[in-house]
Amino acid sequence: MNTIQDINCIEPVNVSHPDDLLITAASWDQRCLGVPTKLSKYSCQHVLMSIYDGRSEKREANIKQLDEILQKAGKLIKLEAEHSNPIENVCRTIEFIRDLKLTRTPRITLDVSSFTRKHLLQLLQGLELAGFLGNCNLYHTEPEDYHTQDNDVLAEGVSSVKAIETFGGEVRPSRDSLLILLLGFEGRRASALLENLEPNRTIVVIPDPPYRDDWKGRSELQHHYLLSTLPLESRFTSHSLQPSSTEELLQRISQGPEFPSAKYNYFVGPLGTKAQLVGLYRYWRRNRGTLTVVYASPVRYKQERADYPPGRTWLIDRTHDWPAIGEKKR
């Protein structure tokens, strides 16, 4: 079901009651301000704001604005987070919610805009395994634009390539390897995944339609060389803002005749949009262990480029609409 909506004023999950939690992350990227500036009709009991390690003057400037705004929405709690090991932050988040001792599924608004991809996947899984993800609205703020001149956008270089902890799948030596790349604008990180994994087959997923009509073809341009090496039948698309589109695509690939799971070990490199990442998680939760999510960690983030203001904010998903694990989709 298509749930995406362009949002100018955010409301609680149940408009008649305050949320239990607003979960967000502070960043040097101004997108972290997108949801907070749309909270005039919003209230919650607690705001959990994750703050990543490393010195950043731009992040500190954004935190000053966030402090003022978020304290009006609910009691503000700040949690430290490590880029390299976000699981500790996820554990503290789960522990905090448990300590609330709620007798029902918590009502949560989750702003996915500024979490790293690795952190967001682990956070979604942690919340679900703890029984806290069943009544959650997911929001994403797009940027006004991206720097796309040198194939790195906001991340520079690659320090390591490895499976994301808790997202490893079954790998059998007797099978060939299939790499599914969810493409964005980061050509060098995509190349690093290819070079390190050396898959037998590679297919790519392009965000289409993109955030904006005038961005159509932009991802393909960033990955021109990679795409020139692949046959047209290795190209797929999924919606840039609709998680169910990516979930359904992965389901079709895994169930289709061309890439049978009996022949291939599946690896997925999530370099696309946050909504596509949520779609990947939606697939994973119902097919746990059937693929391995691989992550190319950047050497550093290019904070000097974080000068685009936040663009539109979207309600991209409602977990209340997700089928239960093991339940067939309607």
Angstrom distance (rounded) from CA 95 to CA 98: 5
**Alpha carbon separation from 28 to 81, 122, 223, 285 (Å, rounded):** 14, 21, 26, 31
Q: Domains plus CATH for the chain?
A: 5-146+305-319 (3.40.50.10770), 155-301 (3.40.50)
Instruction: Give the model's confidence band at 143: pLDDT under 50 very low, under 70 low, under 90 confident, else very high.
Output: confident
Give the per-residue pLDDT at 1. Answer: 45
- How high does pLDDT run on average in the chain? 90
Q: Say if residue 183's pLDDT is above 90.
A: yes
**Alpha carbon separation from 290 to 56, 257, 271 (Å, rounded):** 38, 16, 19
Give the per-residue pLDDT at 52. Answer: 95
Element (H, E) at 222: helix 218-222
Residue 174 CB neighbour total at 10 angstroms: 7
The distance of Cα 162 from the centroid of its chain, to the nearest Å, equals 17
Which of 20-29, 93-102, 141-150, 311-320 is the least confident region?
141-150
Instruction: Give the model's confidence band at 114: pLDDT under 50 very low, under 70 low, under 90 confident, else very high.
Output: very high
Give the per-residue pLDDT at 328. Answer: 58
pTM: 0.91
Give the per-residue pLDDT at 66. Answer: 98
